[in-house]
Chain A
Amino acid sequence: AQSVTQPDIHITVSEGASLELRCNYSYGATPYLFWYVQSPGQGLQLLLKYFSGDTLVQGIKGFEAEFKRSQSSFNLRKPSVHWSDAAEYFCAVGSYNFNKFYFGSGTKLNVKP
């Protein structure tokens, strides 16, 4: 069965520090992987996606993610966090057949001044 695990419920980092948010997936075929960000009371904004090809993908707002098939992981990284990055981050795996997304439980990022 398809599933997505985000092991960290909350993460706090200092502004300017680097960030890594973890995501592990379980999927029977080649996964379509996404990272979305959600500010409080808002909809979800796509940060980046992986379908195939280069395993390091670049996204918006300076984010990148690396697909590691051997570890079933798709971790999100940013070299220097800004206070405006404080939000909830969701990893998702997409089902090719029906565009059905399986979301992780989310990681809430707090940024210390």
Chain B
Amino acid sequence: DTEVTQTPKHLVMGMTNKKSLKCEQHMGHRAMYWYKQKAKKPPELMFVYSYEKLSINESVPSRFSPECPNSSLLNLHLHALQPEDSALYLCASSPMLGQGDEQFFGPGTRLTVL
């Protein structure tokens, strides 16, 4: 299995809602990533996990809360988002951190905040 899966594909939420994005990989990768991508822009790194521990937080607002409950699963908890947070959220994984490896990307969750 060489893919990264993300659910849901689409999500619409109000500014007072709490929702979660889920990402899963079964390639045995120990590094996982969350990216945010606005239309016509490159992906922007949000968080990096290595061996289920948070390694990088790119100064992301606290209304985004990542969680890595095990080596295969990565969640992004959303609370009190703003309309400008509407974007495609991409998850990625790589074998390890610090090896310069390629990252494998999931198809993304299209988030709309009303």
Contacts and interface: CB of A to CB of B under 8 A. Distances in A.
Given A42-B108, A99-B98, A105-B41, 6 more contacts: A41-B108, A43-B107, A96-B98, A98-B55, A101-B45, A108-B40
A44 B89 CA distance: 12
Interface residues of A, number: 25
B56 interface: yes
A41 B97 CA distance: 27
A44 B33 CA distance: 13
B69 interface: no
Interface of B: 4, 6, 31, 33, 40-43, 45, 48, 55-56, 88, 90, 92, 94, 97-108, 110
A83 interface: no
Given A41-B108, A96-B98, A96-B100, A103 B56 contact: no
Contacts of A104: 42
Given A98-B97, A99-B31, A46 B88 contact: no
A103 B97 CA distance: 18
A108 B39 CA distance: 12
Nearest to A45: B105
A107 to B, nearest CB: 11
Interface string A8-39: 00000000000000000000000010101000
Interface string A66-77: 000000000000
Contact of B101 (A45, A90, A99): A99
Nearest to A100: B45
Given A32-B100, A41-B88, A46-B102, A100 B107 contact: no
B98 A43 contact: no
A96 B100 CA distance: 4
Contacts of B110: 41
